[in-house]
Amino acid sequence: MEMCMQLRRKKVDQPNPAEQQSNNESQRWFSRLRSGMEKSRKNLVSKVSGVFSRFTPGSEEFWEEIEATLIQADVGVKATTLIVDSLKERAKEKKIGNAEDLLNLMEAELANILGEESPVFAWKEGLLNIFLVVGVNGTGKTTTLAKIGQRAQKEGKKVMFAAADTFRAAAIEQLEIWAERVGGDIIKHKRGSDPAAVVFDAIQAAKARSVDLLLVDTAGRLHTYENLMEELKKVKRVAQREAPDAEIGTILVVDATTGQNALAQAKIFNEALGVDKIILTKLDGTAKGGIVIAIAEEIGLPITLIGVGEQVEDLQDFRPKEFVEALLESNGNP
Ligand code: GDP
């Protein structure tokens, strides 16, 4: 059965040059997203299509099969139950009789769970933005932070980095390299010093130098998880105290390849610290793209950016509707 989820044409009129450029950019963006999502798409689409092709209205067995498929694709039990219950009800109500209409219903359901876009930047003229970037080691925290800095620079903003992961000497060095590459200032102390003191100094420097965005790299591992959370809470308190007028965002980076672990980390960090937004990295390296749905449903926090590769442009704004299209689009489409 042909299960095409064709991209809808956005414009019928001939676009002007500015619109044309923006269309081209948006196509490039979509094609990077699409290729980054290759594994997840194959995993989810081939399985879902297989099951959907056996759709028989009223068959309980069919719904059980769909449920199992979504759970296997890391969509999570809670989100799966919600999706299946809603699909069942709406399919009955709308008297859906074929698989393609059902797939369209599912697309709408997934987009609904993912909610609205939550852009990473919300510049306010003259206001300091501070991002406390948190997450366990190896999730891609430091590279992601650097990529955000690069983006802000491109938008003409002044960026500063704070090396508040003082637990590892390598973390400070890595951030220094990135700061140089990106062209932002860096505030650092010696290894083993108090991260809250680094943040204190960084905020004073950021104010003095009229910085737009202060990116704080934090530790992702300490002797215990409790120590880590206490340290991060202190860093946040100091930031709030020293920059009461600033826009302070706590941004959690999680690695999609870790599947349900990413979900567990999001719960822990959010409970301890209060997370504002989530960045999901390494979606290109996994077939577990369904984790995006699980995070949105179970944690209820917006995903602001996704990583679909190691290049700077592979850190993309998370656009729920396009993401669902890229995830569900069948392989044969352009
Ligand atoms: P940290 O320990 O959390 O600071 O992690 P790093 O920033 O050092 O990143 C760990 C590795 O993940 C590096 O090799 C990054 O290039 C890689 N990485 C980060 N984001 C992505 C992504 O979206 N896709 C892929 N494939 N690799 C990524």
CB of 316 sitting under 6 A from ligand 1: no
Per-residue confidence (pLDDT) for residue 6, from 0 to 100: 36
DSSP 13-25: SPPPHHHHHHHHH
Nearest atom, ligand 1, residue 253 CA: 3
How does 242-277 read in b/e, with b if 16+ C-beta sit within 10 Å?
A: bbeebbbbbbbbbbbbbbeebbebbebbbebbebbb
The reply to whether 16 falls in a domain is: no
Name the residue with the closest Cα to ligand 1, atom 22.
282
Q: Among the atoms of ligand 1, which is closest to the Cα of residue 308?
A: 23
Same domain, 135 and 266: yes
Position 7 scores a pLDDT of: 31
Residues 156 and 267 in one domain: yes
159 within some domain: yes
Q: Which helix (H) or strand (E) segment is 177 a member of?
A: helix 169-182
For residue 270, report the distance from its CA to the centre of ligand 1, in Å. 22
Closest of 318, 217, 233 to residue 268, by C-alpha = 233
Instruction: Find where tokens 């290049």 sit.
Output: 311
> Does an H or E element contain 129, and which?
strand 129-134
CATH number at residue 216: 3.40.50.300
Residue 334 confidence (pLDDT): 35
Same domain, 95 and 184: no
- Strand-pair category, 303-307 with 247-255: unpaired
Would you say the CB of residue 39 lies under 6 angstroms from ligand 1?
A: no
- CB of 97 within 8 A of CB of 56? no
Question: What pLDDT does residue 223 have?
Answer: 77
Cα of 138 from ligand 1 centre, angstroms: 6
pLDDT of residue 4: 40
Residue 310 CA to ligand 1 center (angstroms) comes to 7
Q: How many domains does the chain have?
A: 2
Look at residue 333 and tell me if it is in a domain: no
pLDDT for res 40:
83
In tens, the pLDDT along 137-151 reads: 999 999 999 999 999
Residue 9 has a pLDDT of: 32
Closest protein CA for atom 17 of ligand 1: 140
Q: Is 32 part of any domain?
A: no
Choose one of 181, 252, 282 to mutate for the ligand 1 pocket test, by most ligand atoms within 8 angstroms of C-beta. Answer: 282
**Residue 175 sits in the same domain as residue 264:** yes
Supply the residue whose CA is at minimum distance from atom 5 of ligand 1: 140
Q: How far apart are CA 277 and CA 266, in angstroms?
A: 10
Angstrom distance (rounded) from CA 306 to CA 250: 16
Give residue 152's pLDDT. 96
Residues 146 and 266 in one domain: yes
CATH code of the domain containing 90: 1.20.120.140
Whether residue 140 has its Cβ less than 6 Å from ligand 1: yes
Selection from 145, 53, 154 nearest residue 102 by Cα: 53
Residue 121 CA to ligand 1 center (angstroms) comes to: 21
Tell me if 63 is assigned to some domain. yes
Residue 192 in domain: yes
Which residue stretches of the chain have pLDDT < 70?
Answer: 1-15, 330-334
Which domain covers residue 203, as residue numbers? 129-324
Q: Are the beta carbons of 36 and 309 closer than 8 angstroms?
A: yes
Which tens digit of pLDDT belongs to each residue from 166-221? 999 999 999 999 999 999 999 999 999 999 999 999 999 999 999 999 999 999 98
The edge-to-edge listing of strands for the beta sheet with 159-164 is 185-187, 159-164, 213-218, 129-134, 247-255, 277-281, 303-307, 315-317
